[in-house]
Amino acid sequence: MIAGIKGGVCQSCAMPIYTADMYGTDLHGKKTEDYCIQCYRKGVFTDPDMDMFDMIDKSVAWIMNAGVYPEAHIRETLSEIIPRLKRWNIPVTTHYFN
């Protein structure tokens, strides 16, 4: 799930988007294709001040709630995925996590 992410995954938080009403909305209330409703409503990010690291923490916490994977595994996976999403747009070749 790391390579070629687009469509079907929120480009801010990396959550899978399964149904049309999970998509965020633009200024005019139309559905956007890029972001989920948790991240983006009426053309603005619901939490515009958060940075990429905040988002990784938040997403780790969400997935931890499901109780399926250990935190280290979730964090490692999200640290690969989230920097490459459209909202954060970090070059793939850049290594931010040592």
- Using CB under 5 A, list all residues that contact Zn ion: 10, 12-13, 36, 39
- Tell me how far, at minimum, the Cβ of 39 lies from Zn ion, in Å: 3
Ramachandran angles phi, psi of 16, nearest 5°: -65, 145
Q: What 3-state DSSP class applies to 9?
A: strand
- Tell me how far, at minimum, the Cβ of 98 lies from Zn ion, in Å: 26
Q: Residue 7 or residue 98: which is nearer to Zn ion going by CB? A: 7
- Tell me how far, at minimum, the Cβ of 85 lies from Zn ion, in Å: 9
Three-class HEC string of 20-54: HHHEEECCCCCEEEEEECCCEECCEECCCCCCHHH
Q: Residue 9 or residue 69: which is nearer to Zn ion going by CB? A: 9
Q: How far apart are CA 68 and CA 43, in angstroms?
A: 33
Q: Residue 66 or residue 95: which is nearer to Zn ion going by CB? A: 66
